[in-house]
Chains A and B, each alone.
Chain A
Amino acid sequence: MVGDYINAINPVVAFSINVATQILCIRFVMKGLLKSLFSGFAIGLLSLLFVQLISVFLGKTFLPNLTVNIIIYSSLGYCYFHFINLGETARRIRILRELYDSKRGLTLEEILKCYNAKRMVELRLQRLLNNGQVILKGGKLYNGKPVLLLMSKTILLMKLIILGQKSEFD
């Protein structure tokens, strides 16, 4: 009976450990957000495995329960990754934050003054140039390493399957 409940709450507890570890890591241990997310996920996964092993001694079968709990834990971890990513990179959240910081709201010109395509593209293009995904040669831009292009094609395919269009402007 106790084993059943431990088994059921195991992924949720492991996910809480994941979140707590990530926050502690980014605040006190490391600088990179991605590194802290991976660390949190790994520690949470280890705790899940540990509790799953304990539940074997309480009469629960190991492999089927582990499979289900890993799927639940990974899905929650995936959601958390997106939540953090949203706060960091989403344009909508950035605009919301700019509006929150202003007392009386902002006009379109004021929004574009503090957050515009030029600045956004400069930052991202520099990142792509630095890691070789894009190459600038003779004033022209070329695709470099194929990793991001492959990822883009996968995302476009997913968009086509799920949304029925390749781009929001189609």
Chain B
Amino acid sequence: MIVGILVLCNLPDHSVCWGIPPPGRFVEYIQISSFFISLTLAYMITYSALEADSPSLVIVTTIANAGQNGLDKKKFDELMNDNILVNPRIRDLLLNKMVEMDEDRYVLTPKGALFARIFIIYREMMNVSRKGG
């Protein structure tokens, strides 16, 4: 964003792109920055959502992969196990330093506690009581 703004600042006043002159006033830079920041945030949040396989997505694709004959419920229950759905997320928390090991116990780091607190407070604000997840 800083590079983009520096480029825009140094554009000659008479340069026009598709009929749009370069920004000239501070307020125009504010609008450009909010445009850039909002789209970047949207991309970041989409990226993080795509990183992990969502359980519903795993369920639907597993059943689809079984084809026309369907998937036996018992086989399905075997496939949907903690190694696929829970353990990788615990590993993510360790990798992102939100959780650390204290002997055989997983404990929150200050970063993890901050994240947890943000969501707990927000859920309290919304008065959501069910556990979710």
Residue in B59, B60, B115 whose CB lies within 8 Å of A96: B115
Q: Is the CB of A35 closer than 8 A to any CB of chain B?
A: no
Cα A124 to Cα B60 with chains together (Å)? 10
Contacts of B113 in A (CB 8 A): 100
Cross-chain contact B106 with A106 (CB below 8 angstroms): yes
Cβ distance A130 to chain B, nearest Cβ, rounded Å: 13
Chain A 86-132 interface residues, beta-carbon cutoff 8 Å to B: 86-97, 99-100, 104-108, 111-112, 115-118, 120-121, 124-125, 128
Cα A143 to Cα B61 with chains together (Å)? 9
Contacts of B132 in A (CB 8 A): 87-89, 93-94
Q: Is the CB of A71 closer than 8 A to any CB of chain B?
A: yes
Contacts of B12 in A (CB 8 A): none
Cβ distance B35 to chain A, nearest Cβ, rounded Å: 5
Cα A142 to Cα B60 with chains together (Å)? 9
Cross-chain contact B35 with A68 (CB below 8 angstroms): yes
Number of interface residues, chain A, beta carbon within 8 A = 72
Instruction: Given A79-B41, A112-B82, answer yes or no on A141-B120 (Cβ-Cβ < 8 Å).
Output: no
Cα A22 to Cα B35 with chains together (Å)? 23
Contacts of B21 in A (CB 8 A): none
- Counting contact residues on chain B (CB < 8 A from A), the size range is 35 or more
Cα A107 to Cα B81 with chains together (Å)? 18
Residue in B34, B61, B85, B107 whose CB lies within 8 Å of A91: B85
Interface of A is mostly: helix
Interface of B is mostly: helix
Cross-chain contact A78 with B106 (CB below 8 angstroms): no
Cα A86 to Cα B39 with chains together (Å)? 19
21 A–B contact pairs at CB < 8 A? A4-B28, A23-B125, A75-B42, A76-B41, A83-B45, A88-B132, A91-B89, A92-B52, A94-B131, A95-B90, A96-B98, A96-B99, A99-B112, A104-B105, A107-B105, A107-B106, A111-B106, A117-B84, A141-B63, A143-B64, A162-B50
Show the binding face of B for A, using Cβ within 8 Å.
25, 27-28, 30-31, 34-35, 38-39, 41-42, 45-47, 49-57, 59-61, 63-64, 66, 69-74, 76-77, 80-82, 84-86, 88-90, 92-93, 98-99, 102, 104-108, 112-113, 115-117, 119-120, 122-123, 125-128, 131-133
